[in-house]
Amino acid sequence: MLIGAETKLFALRLSLSPRSTTIDTLRRLGVSYEALSLDGIQGLSSEDHDWLHALYKSEETFHRVPFQHAMTLARRRRALLRAGYCLVPSCEMVYVAAHHYERSLRLQMQALYRSLHTIDDDERSRLAPVLARIVAAWQTGVMHHSSNSGSAGRLQFRLYDIDRYAELHFPLCMKHLHHKLRENHHLKYNGRVQYRMFLKGLGVSVGESLVFFRSEFVKVMPTATFEKEHAYHIRHSYGLEGSRKDYEPLACAQIIHGSTPRHGQYHGCPFRHWDEATLCRELSRCGLDPSTVSRVAGEVGQGRSQSACRMLFDATHHVSYAQAAQQSQGTGVAVQGGGGVVVQHPNAYVEVSERAESAN
Ligand code: SF4
């Protein structure tokens, strides 16, 4: 099941890359095939020629691939099968690469399984925690794409380090969602949207987002359910499905004026949607002294949620939000409110928090 899911993710990543990446990947796996132009294929009947041309009009290069390496395409009648070979157009070579990737994963896992049974108990107990750490890092998406653009590209954020980073730099709304995701291995609709768009704003790619949410959700649901009910929405929020709109992370105003979380929901803004006792408890847990807690609560009572959020920042960082935000001007994060500096966007909070740390 895990290998199938990883192969799908691998194929998805390849399909989002330039076409030459697929051929390069195959080459790195030590695989190459004869490449032919449509007119250069020997012994093709005029019906076969027309069929290929109708299916792949703009395709110039076809690859002669052994049938067993292109079973998915043959099954779907997306490649012409002749004399034990499939004629696969370049645009469909992702399926061939996925076949080799899956095969290589299986072989490596078999080799690992065999080697674990040949080592003694002492060695196994020494290696077990190391392997567990590798798996955990891999499951939370250790590969961070350096190609992310915008302010996210300048952040130190790495998904494999999210637990530590969330404590240091996430605003309370996102920290809360992160804790609840780790605790329940699930978030309801509004929480999923709020949190995954925030992560997207931090530079998490669609592939990483799929791996990250899958690694939690499959603890409480079958992988097939995740693929059916959640993977589509993650790809959708990156503009890869449906209307293909590239959605933006939610700003504070949208979160604050959005729907109020009900029982079992964790979205929203704590300074707007939490009752006073819960908020004060959480502020104390963040290390605020009683007088600061009561000042923040007073600000909340006046309906100034974003200003209260800034006060929490000031109390938990060595540099004030206003000072650190000053250094963030020109980086694309909006920080200036009508009556002074307030938190305008959860992603801006993260950037300002990082700057506060580096200024320290
Ligand atoms: Fe999150 Fe904005 Fe509320 Fe702060 S003010 S907790 S960043 S929604």
Which of 51-65, 243-257, 289-303, 321-335 shows the lowest per-residue confidence on average (mean pLDDT)? 321-335
Quick one: pLDDT at residue 360? 66
Predicted pLDDT at 131: 67
Across residues 297-326, what is the average pLDDT?
94
Q: From start to end of the chain, where are the E strands?
A: 34-37, 61-66, 80-82, 85-89, 336-337, 340-341
Flag the least confident range among 73-77, 191-195, 333-337: 333-337
Q: State the pLDDT at residue 138.
A: 52
For residues 204-219, average pLDDT: 92
CA distance 228 to 330: 41
Of 77-86, 156-165, 267-276, 328-337, least confident by mean pLDDT is 328-337
Residue 252 Cβ inside 6 Å of ligand 1? The answer reads yes
Residue 85 pLDDT:
86
N-to-C CA span, the chain = 47
pLDDT for res 293? 97
Residue 260 has what pLDDT? 96
What number does the ligand 1 atom closest to the CA of 272 have? 3
- Does ligand 1 have an atom closer than 6 angstroms to the CB of 271? yes
Decide: 87 in ligand 1 pocket, CB within 6 A: no
Instruction: Verify whether ligand 1 is closer than 6 Å to residue 270 (CB atom).
Output: yes
252 alpha carbon – ligand 1 mean position (Å): 5
Q: What is the pLDDT of residue 141?
A: 45
Average pLDDT over the chain, rounded to an integer: 84
Residue 140 confidence (pLDDT) = 45
Confidence of residue 331 (pLDDT cuts 50, 70, 90): very low
Question: Which long-range contacts link 11-20 to residues 24+ away (Cβ below 8 Å)?
Answer: 11/94, 11/95, 11/97, 11/98, 11/101, 12/206, 12/207, 12/210, 12/235, 13/207, 14/94, 14/97, 14/98, 15/94, 16/206, 16/207, 16/240, 19/90, 19/91, 19/93
Q: Are strands 340-341 and 336-337 parallel, antiparallel or unpaired?
A: antiparallel
Report CA(251)–ligand 1 centroid distance (Å). 8
Mean pLDDT across the stretch 303-316? 96
Between CA 223 and CA 96 the distance in angstroms is 24
148 pLDDT higher than 80: no
Decide which of 291 and 125 is more confident.
291
Residues 209-232 have a mean pLDDT of 93
357 or 146: which carries more pLDDT confidence? 357
Predicted pLDDT at 76: 79
107-121, 167-181, 240-254: segment of lowest average pLDDT: 107-121
Say yes or no: CB of residue 177 within 6 Å of ligand 1: no
- Cβ(343) – ligand 1 distance below 6 Å: yes
The pLDDT value recorded for residue 54 is: 82
Nearest CA to ligand 1 atom 5: 306
> Is the shortest distance between the CB of 26 and ligand 1 below 6 Å?
no
Which is higher by pLDDT, 149 or 157?
Answer: 157
> What pLDDT does 335 receive?
45
Q: Which pLDDT belongs to residue 359?
A: 72
Q: Measured from the CA of 344, which atom of ligand 1 is nearest?
A: 2
pLDDT value of position 153: 52
Q: Is the pTM of this model over 0.75?
A: no
Instruction: Give the whole-angstrom CA distance, residue 295 versus residue 105.
Output: 56
pLDDT of residue 177: 98
The string of pLDDT tens digits covering residues 130-147 is 666 565 555 444 333 333
